[in-house]
Structure 1
Amino acid sequence: MSNATYNGQWAGAMAELAEQVHLEDPTLEAEEGAPEPEPVRPTSIAQAFQHFACLYIKYLQIFRKLERCYDGMVHPQKRLAVLKVLELVMQRVVELKHSLVKYSPPPPVVQQDKSFPWEYVNLDSVLVDLKLPPETLEVPVPKYFREDSEQARKVRDKIVEGYMQVKHGVTEIPLESSDGQDTSGSIPLDKAIEIIQLNERGRQGKERATLVKVLREEEKRRKAYDAAHGGAELDQDVASIEIQRALRGLVARNRASRLRDRELIFLGMRPSITENVDREAQLKNAYIMRKQEQKDNKDAYERALEDMKEVVYNDEGPDMKRELEGERTEWLADAILEEDTTGIKPAELADEGKKPRERGGKKKARERGLMPESMQEFYDDKYPEPVEEEPEADPKADKGAKKDDKGKGKGKKDEPEEEELPLLQEKRDLTSKMFETTEHYQNEWEDFNEEDNFAQKHDVELVKNEIRDGVKLQIRDEVDEMFRDQLKKLKQELGQNFAKPPKAKKIKPSKKNAKGEKIKFKKLTGDKNKEIAGLSVEETLVKLVDHGLVNSYKPRKISDLVGDFNYLGTVRQSCEPPQGEEWQPADPSMQQLRAAITEYCILPLGSQRVATAMRGDQHGDVPDSSYEPVRSILLYGPKGSGKTAMVEAIAHELGALLINISPAKVKGKFGENKKAPAILPHLICKVATDPAFSPVIVYMDDAHEYMVGKKFDKQGPGRFCKEFQNYKKSFFTRKKNGGFFTVSAKKGPQPCPPDDKNCPNGTFDARILFIGCTSQPELADPKQTKLFFDKMLYFPYPDHASRYMLWKRTIAEQLKGSPVNSVGDLSTLAHVSEGFSAGAIISCVKKTLTKRRVERLSKRPFESSEFLNPLARAAAEKQLSYQDDHKAFLKFTSEVASTLATEKKNLEIIKAGGDPNAKKKGKKK
């Protein structure tokens, strides 16, 4: 696309964004002193869901446009402006997704006046109302996640490959996954000869049988012809006419077929292989050229930032220096004048035991006529820090609060609180930032004149504006240094002997929380182990590579999870079950899974700026969002459903370091003593918190072997579960007050004071994600599973529409470059393969349409029946779905991955006239 196209998309996206932020916060452009509008709350959960759904779809459209603009624009300064607003919109999309999950409409088998969090949000009815296609809900993965970190990723990969070469003799250890290829081991020579002989005898027998069959058919046709013509042969002329007729018919039919295909291609009803290949090649070349132009313009812009500093310093520096010197000269003259008028000597105050500027602060020291001792006092006088007035505490309110606290545990804690619906319009820090970006676009870029900038190079004036503050800061430091020398000389000339300023008292780390309660922190188990406590990040990485835990992965994408949209999700969720049958949740669609994986696993970890904005930084302010960041996620479903492929896709889209801690990798390693289970999580967290090696994906296959409860094998993976939980909470979990907490404190998790040096060295914005995969989730301990994994996603068997898309796409990939468009009846194949996993279908296609078979398609046409043998083999290998397996996954979804089973029981108790909280109260009493 052209530059004008991207500029138009950017303008449209910013106009839509300006409209959205005003809908969310009407007070953005309100006049000062104007009364704030009353907060608007929805009347029901359905209304709240509808509101958030419309916002989510609109922000998703804006997000897609901005991502396309940033990827295609070549103007470096425009790209920076787009990137800023793109990351803000990205954060809002993730926040709205969490709100949709929280306020999802409850199914008919639970309480209707209470929110029912459900991961698989159905927005089909909203799309119908807005007249939008299903593709609107596809969440794009920004390409700049990989492109902007390419250099750092290459350096990291080179380091990892070097360690692997030294430790294992190879440069990469691939992640073991079933990708449809035959992974059987090597066969002995005698066994291979026996198989070849057996196949050859069978082939010869089939050929003999085929030859006999052909001869019999010819004999039958000959006898039928002789009987019809009485044994008389045709005349030569008649025979030639018959041959000509048949040949002309064949030629005419072929010509008609070509004309029909050409017309269908012209109408867009059939793709043209040759034209598509040519267009794809041209599009790819144009994209590569545009990316190179983008890189060249960016390099020129970065060089200009350095070159223009000297220009601005020489042209505007003298004026800046005169202005700064005038301010400081005036301030110093006023200070000297005040001292002369008061007649108080600083030495006299020092003799009396009074320290200059100790009482009342620096501003009162000016009033007492004391000369300044440093240039810092100039900034304290000229730019005083704003002091926030604390509201006076109400003693009655404090007494009432204490009474309430005393009442807790005696019954008040057990009383269920009424759920308050969210505000539809409110002030948010994120909304204000997006509003600022829209104003910046309107003031600077909306009417920006670039008629002479066809090459989309950087604008010199904008470069000067960007570096002007930095140049002014540099000149300010030079002027301050000069005035320090003048102040020192002035004091020497006046002969004043100032008392030395008092030393700043060292502030000891506070050992109390906000309530004044004492907190005792304990080091984590790994910090007590001398073998690993003092290791550097490189030494830690070497240990992980030595144990074979760092793996490489294939360049997969989220779009590789092929599947269709659920067009009746809302209807199926809200309809009552037939009488006598139990209501069961519908399987999530592939589109819902793609969106959830992108929003939970990729967008929050894409860049360090986004991670910090979404999760906050250590001891700093947390974002004004109501959700906790996803640090761990469980993917469960049948074998071959695409779980491991999605782990590779997440790692590839992020350009992450993949650490594989599957049970087969860690069994019997790291020793058996008490400190041994903490070694593995300590090594992983040490690497993950280093920005040079982030982001980090921690992959655990067969995750149910980790979640085994209290009884576990001393050499098995279950021994690591408790320590992983401790490290995950201590390093990466955010608390409401914005501080860390340690789980090893005596009285449970406690917040870590901001100035406590003993606080665990973790960061909220560390880009790390734990991903567990299992095909047997029912074997895991439910309590540990809920405690460790923040989210759980079910990968079901594909439905008919998804199977159709899967067959079509996989066959097209195998036939790429072949003159044959497609083989077989896809609808029949989708129907026959019901109950097979996606991996089984992919494996079936790859084993059938081999390279040799594709080359021989023109000589030997393909038949759909050729897929039956691989499908039967896949069914024999337990790749076929059985009803019992499906019921087991649904049971896990209802009881562990969600609160569906509990809410069902509560509704039954309420209908019977009981109290669902009565049993809990009785236990607590």
Structure 2
Amino acid sequence: MVKCLNVWLGQNYCLPCLLVTPSGVTYNKLWRDAQEGLSSLLSEEVPPESSRPERDRVVFFQRLASLYVRYTQIFRRLEEAYDQIAHPQKRRLIRGLLDATMGRVLELKNEMVEKEFSEFHYMDDVILDLKLTPEDLEIPIPRYFLSEQSKVQRDRQQMLSRILDLMATAEKPKVCRIHRAEAVKMIQVTERARQGRLRAKFMREIQRDEERQKRAKHQDLSVANTDQAAVRIQKVWKGFIQRKKTKQEREEEMIFLGMVMSFPVFSRLLAEANKARRRARQEEHEEDFQKALVFITSSLRETEGPDMRETMKDQIRQWFIECHDATGSFPDYPEEEDGGSALIFAAKTPQQVDLSRKKRKPTKRQEGKNRQKTKGKDKKQRRCVHISNTVTLVCNALHSSHQDESKNFSQRHEAELIKEEKRKEIETEIRLQVDELMRQELANWKLAVDRDKGRKAKPSGKKKKGSKSEKKKKKEKDLTADRTIESLYQELVEQGLLKPAENVKLQDYIGDYNYLGTTLRQMDIEPMPSLSDVRQLIPLYAILPLGSQVLREKAPLVKALLLVGPSGVGKKMLVHAICQETGANLFDLSPLNLVGKYPGRTGLQMMLHMVFKVARLLQPSVVWIGDAEKMFYKKVPKEEKEVNPKRLKKDLPKVLKSIKGEDRILIIGTTNSPLNADLKSLCKVYTKIILIPRPDYGTRYVMWKELIKQNGGMVTSALDLSSLGKVSDGYTPGQMVRVVRKVLTEHRLQRLTKCPLLAVEFVSHLAKIDPIFQEEEEALKAWYAKTPLGKKRVKMALGREGEVDVPEKGSKDAKKKGKK
């Protein structure tokens, strides 16, 4: 096959030969830049022991913020490289680095929250120093979350659609039959009305034509009037051409000045098509790689396995003889948990092997002494910087060996690398088999020696029964052990507890960056976060941990998340976006959704058991609790007593404790009136609380523009978006969506070319809706200041960070303190 000339010349970016040439030049460079950036960051994260701890809170936070922004940039590069590189072994190296980097981003975010006592951070000065834009701070959502489980999600979606279709068929209302005479009469009435409308339309057209003819008779169609008409047509046409030319020149000037990015539609479509081709190549190369793994493993087991087995046996027998010659007796064979014969193969003498086995399990007294010795060293290490698990993961992934693949034009797997990895696995597998045989052989040797000396054979070391480590923990009773997961899934769908998520993405949650956050905090004014700040928290606390099992186990664990804000700010939309971005199941345990379902105490236990059993087996899963304040009512209103909204109050904390780090399950509560709930009980369940405010001016401006475009409208100079953004102060995104849909009807869209949109059209509809007033937002802000994190933030602002909380009068804590 003749290759392209560009390939022979060393150019790997030939567009016509994209499927043949390695298109990873750009993405290999991204990977290399990410590695260099991580090396630089790791050198800063592990300062020398002689360095002094930073005591200035502001300086320390600036350092954390700088690390966070730089790790985020590396995260973006690695995600892009992993999505486009086709080499299967390279992708595995990048995947380890990507997961470790994501974990470090989450840890840094957690540290910033602990140091600043706020979920929202403003890093205007940091991005200014690094010459970045606010868009560079956006947390990307790895595309492999959905691509790697596309088949599972497709099957699950088909099963859900099938169950919903069966339910719709069963609930389809019966057709009401009527008498034939009544049906004929209804058809006649309808047909007469249709014919009447047509006749009226024809009569209007005839009358309009007659009036037009009468006006034409009175007009003087002379040559002068004809010339005037021609001149008028020329004026209109020349004006149209000149305006079009001027507009084009203005756009070219803006592109030349760098004010507008030139990116033709064709180029964008071509880039997307190229990315799709690379993903198709990834699947093809991955399939070949999996086949090669099976083939190479079986061939190595057949060809090199017997030699490995005999070599191990000879080495172990030689070790038996050397130990007997050195000590006069045969040694004890190392246990499997201590490493087995791997200790023997290490470069150690027989005495060192026995000594290492004895030192492997120190006594409690020795452990205490060791702790006291290392206590001083630990203090010194803590004074510098906290070396986290994810930093270790980054180091290990960064130093993983990989070779140059610039000459691998097909970008397929390397067989030698597979052999190196599989040899280690086969060696471990054979070692376990050899250990069992050699333990028995060593026991026979000892019996033979003891028999010759006339001693009684000592019983082989048996494990003590009943030790605490061997006691099995009692497993929870499975209430549905006799049922399949499909039947449980179907029952939850039929009961309305498992619902399909709406097709919305996180990028659909529109919001502009808060450009005054740092300035306001420097003036000791706590700013209200923007919707862009809220959007950045959702990947960190929900999407990334749900999408990656490694992050869920290594990163700070968030079991429950509470979204608080006025009606219409997009709380429910964020829940559905989380499910769509991760492919998670959506369980609805809202109080109003549980009315009349699974009554009684046993019914409630069965419902929770089924929900969380299916959630674990089909993870990731999101358990949504709408109107979360109802579950923690201070006093249940009379009209809601029959609903029993506090039904889950006692059982939900118990279920929350059962969620472990390996469970990709997240409980999300939403509420617009948290003041009605008992704050202490609410905060015990929801450890993370995100306050969503009304949209600010920048967000409203961007939102009006995007909503009008999404609904088919055109934004022209006649539409004063700035004034519309000012007038709509206090209105939520949900209210703005309803107004746009009311204005942009089908009839209005047809008239856009002749009559452009005006701000007055939207204002008239806004006047009919009650906005969210400043008092309501201040009440939510005051409520948030009473939460645990809000209290710490207030104390830090007042300079009383180290003070102990004083219990309120009449509370249980105050009574206990009085008794003491």
TM-score calculated relative to the size of structure 1: 0.70
Are 1:709 and 1:784, in contact at CA under 8 Å, matched by a contact in 2? Answer: no
Are 2:724 and 2:763, in contact at CA under 8 Å, matched by a contact in 1? Answer: no
1:259 equivalent to 2:245? Answer: yes
Question: Paired residue for 1:807, among 695, 704, 722?
Answer: 704
Q: Structure 2: which amino acid aligns with 1:473?
A: T
Aligned runs of 1:408-557 on 2, under 5 Å? 423=383, 425-440=385-400, 443-445=401-403, 448-451=404-407, 453-476=408-431, 501=460, 503-509=462-468, 537-538=485-486, 540-557=488-505
Deviation at 1:149, TM superposition (A): 1.8
CA distance in 1, matches of 2:340, 2:753: 88
Deviation at 1:881, TM superposition (A): 1.8
Quote the residue 1:687 is aligned against.
Answer: 614
Quote the residue 1:798 is aligned against.
Answer: 695
Identity in percent: 27
Q: Structure 2: which amino acid aligns with 1:896?
A: T
Shift in CA distance, 235/780, structure 1 to aligned 2, threshold 3 Å? same
Quote the residue 2:648 is aligned against.
Answer: 720
Q: Secondary structure at the match of 2:785?
A: helix
Quote the residue 1:702 is aligned against.
Answer: 627
Q: Secondary structure at the match of 2:238?
A: helix
Q: Secondary structure at the match of 1:719?
A: coil
Quote the residue 1:746 is aligned against.
Answer: none
CA distance in 2, matches of 1:664, 1:124: 43
CA RMSD of aligned residues (A): 4.7
CA distance in 2, matches of 1:170, 1:461: 60
1:77 equivalent to 2:18? Answer: no
Question: Paired residue for 1:47, among 36, 47, 59?
Answer: 59
Deviation at 1:317, TM superposition (A): 4.3
Superimposed CA distance per residue, residues 735-761 of structure 1 (whole angstroms, 9 cap, x where no aligned partner): xxxxxxxxxxxxxxxxxxxxxxxxxxx
Shift in CA distance, 587/918, structure 1 to aligned 2, threshold 3 Å? closer
Are 1:672 and 1:715, in contact at CA under 8 Å, matched by a contact in 2? Answer: no
Q: Secondary structure at the match of 2:402?
A: helix
Quote the residue 1:559 is aligned against.
Answer: 507
Deviation at 1:297, TM superposition (A): 0.9
Q: Secondary structure at the match of 1:559?
A: helix
Deviates more, 1:142-151 or 1:323-332: 323-332
Question: Paired residue for 1:610, among 537, 546, 551?
Answer: 551
Deviation at 1:436, TM superposition (A): 2.5
Question: Paired residue for 1:8, among 19, 25, 29?
Answer: 29
Aligned runs of 1:379-418 on 2, under 5 Å? 385=357, 387=360, 389=362
Deviation at 1:170, TM superposition (A): 8.3
CA distance in 1, matches of 2:750, 2:384: 61
1:570 equivalent to 2:518? Answer: yes
Q: Secondary structure at the match of 2:647?
A: helix
Q: Secondary structure at the match of 2:667?
A: strand
1:103 equivalent to 2:115? Answer: yes
Shift in CA distance, 542/364, structure 1 to aligned 2, threshold 3 Å? same
CA distance in 2, matches of 1:601, 1:49: 24
Shift in CA distance, 271/574, structure 1 to aligned 2, threshold 3 Å? closer
Quote the residue 2:727 is aligned against.
Answer: 832
Shift in CA distance, 422/679, structure 1 to aligned 2, threshold 3 Å? farther
Q: Secondary structure at the match of 2:118?
A: coil
Are 1:25 and 1:431, in contact at CA under 8 Å, matched by a contact in 2? Answer: no
Give ranges in structure 2 of 5+ residues lacking alignment.
Answer: 1-12, 14-22, 172-185, 347-352, 372-379, 809-813
CA distance in 1, matches of 2:417, 2:25: 20
1:122 equivalent to 2:122? Answer: yes
Q: Structure 2: which amino acid aligns with 1:281?
A: L
1:323 equivalent to 2:311? Answer: yes
Quote the residue 2:180 is aligned against.
Answer: none
Superimposed CA distance per residue, residues 453-496 of structure 1 (whole angstroms, 9 cap, x where no aligned partner): 22211122222222221232344456557767877998999996
Quote the residue 2:557 is aligned against.
Answer: 629
Shift in CA distance, 856/772, structure 1 to aligned 2, threshold 3 Å? same
Q: Structure 2: which amino acid aligns with 1:684?
A: V
Superimposed CA distance per residue, residues 100-150 of structure 1 (whole angstroms, 9 cap, x where no aligned partner): 11212xxxxxxxxxxxx1111111232233332111211111111111122
Question: Paired residue for 2:530, among 586, 589, 592?
Answer: 589
Deviation at 1:549, TM superposition (A): 0.5
CA distance in 2, matches of 1:44, 1:62: 27
Aligned runs of 1:368-379 on 2, under 5 Å? 378=341
Deviation at 1:279, TM superposition (A): 3.6
1:63 equivalent to 2:75? Answer: yes
Shift in CA distance, 902/469, structure 1 to aligned 2, threshold 3 Å? closer
Are 1:42 and 1:421, in contact at CA under 8 Å, matched by a contact in 2? Answer: no
Q: Secondary structure at the match of 1:689?
A: helix
Q: Structure 2: which amino acid aligns with 1:669?
A: K
Deviation at 1:252, TM superposition (A): 2.2
Count of aligned residue pairs for this structure pair: 733
CA distance in 1, matches of 2:44, 2:698: 38
Question: Paired residue for 2:568, among 640, 643, 664?
Answer: 640
Are 1:76 and 1:457, in contact at CA under 8 Å, matched by a contact in 2? Answer: yes
1:847 equivalent to 2:742? Answer: yes
CA distance in 2, matches of 1:421, 1:331: 41
Deviation at 1:38, TM superposition (A): 3.4
Deviation at 1:608, TM superposition (A): 1.6
Q: Structure 1: which amino acid aligns with 2:360?
A: V
Superimposed CA distance per residue, residues 61-99 of structure 1 (whole angstroms, 9 cap, x where no aligned partner): 111111111111111111110110111110110111111
Deviates more, 1:65-74 or 1:899-908: 899-908
Superimposed CA distance per residue, residues 429-450 of structure 1 (whole angstroms, 9 cap, x where no aligned partner): 332331232222xx524xx143
Give ranges in structure 1 of 5+ residues lacking alignment.
Answer: 28-36, 105-116, 172-188, 220-232, 343-361, 367-371, 399-419, 513-520, 577-582, 615-627, 733-762
TM-score calculated relative to the size of structure 2: 0.78
Are 1:88 and 1:434, in contact at CA under 8 Å, matched by a contact in 2? Answer: yes
Superimposed CA distance per residue, residues 11-41 of structure 1 (whole angstroms, 9 cap, x where no aligned partner): 00110000101111146xxxxxxxxx13532
CA distance in 2, matches of 1:290, 1:503: 58
1:146 equivalent to 2:146? Answer: yes
CA distance in 1, matches of 2:231, 2:635: 85
Q: Considering fraction of residues, name the structure with more helix.
A: 2
Deviation at 1:774, TM superposition (A): 1.5
Are 1:909 and 1:916, in contact at CA under 8 Å, matched by a contact in 2? Answer: no
1:772 equivalent to 2:669? Answer: yes
CA distance in 1, matches of 2:499, 2:144: 23
Are 1:668 and 1:716, in contact at CA under 8 Å, matched by a contact in 2? Answer: no
Are 2:320 and 2:331, in contact at CA under 8 Å, matched by a contact in 1? Answer: no
Are 1:642 and 1:838, in contact at CA under 8 Å, matched by a contact in 2? Answer: yes
Q: Structure 1: which amino acid aligns with 2:676?
A: L
Deviation at 1:320, TM superposition (A): 3.2
CA distance in 1, matches of 2:593, 2:227: 77
Deviation at 1:294, TM superposition (A): 1.1
Superimposed CA distance per residue, residues 400-455 of structure 1 (whole angstroms, 9 cap, x where no aligned partner): xxxxxxxxxxxxxxxxxxxx998553433332331232222xx524xx1431x222
Are 1:895 and 1:901, in contact at CA under 8 Å, matched by a contact in 2? Answer: no
Shift in CA distance, 504/7, structure 1 to aligned 2, threshold 3 Å? same
Deviation at 1:727, TM superposition (A): 1.6
CA distance in 1, matches of 2:599, 2:262: 61
Deviation at 1:833, TM superposition (A): 2.1
Are 1:815 and 1:821, in contact at CA under 8 Å, matched by a contact in 2? Answer: no
Are 2:565 and 2:693, in contact at CA under 8 Å, matched by a contact in 1? Answer: yes
Shift in CA distance, 394/164, structure 1 to aligned 2, threshold 3 Å? closer
1:882 equivalent to 2:773? Answer: yes
Deviates more, 1:553-562 or 1:429-438: 429-438
Are 2:285 and 2:413, in contact at CA under 8 Å, matched by a contact in 1? Answer: yes
Deviation at 1:250, TM superposition (A): 2.1
Q: Secondary structure at the match of 1:899?
A: helix
